[in-house]
Structure 1
Amino acid sequence: MQEITEKDRRNELRSLLDAIQQHPERDWSEARRRIAVLQRVLGMYAPALDH
């Protein structure tokens, strides 16, 4: 089993945010929930994007 690092979480967060920005027409409900979790884990309390 591979350890998940803070860098891995930040990369996942950046990837999700980039995908939402590139395709705002899609339903990103599940991704937004994951973004909220990643932000909490990383200590970022800013709300997820509202696009």
Structure 2
Amino acid sequence: MTSRINETIDGSVFARWRADETYRPLNLVAWAKSKQVDPAKFVDTVMAADPNVVVP
């Protein structure tokens, strides 16, 4: 998977993940696997390259 500079994942994506069991975009599944994270645990917008970095 490639990463773009300053690419972010909006908090609304994670909210939809939690709200809709059928919403599982392959790229988000791959991202979560590569970062060893659970998308359901995120609330805020985060940096795609480092999900520990919250974007205001």
- TM class, shorter-length: 0.3 to 0.5
Going by fraction, where is helix more abundant, 1 or 2? 1
TM-score of the aligned structures, taking structure 1 as reference length: 0.37
- Higher RCO (CA 8 Å, separation ≥ 6 residues): 2
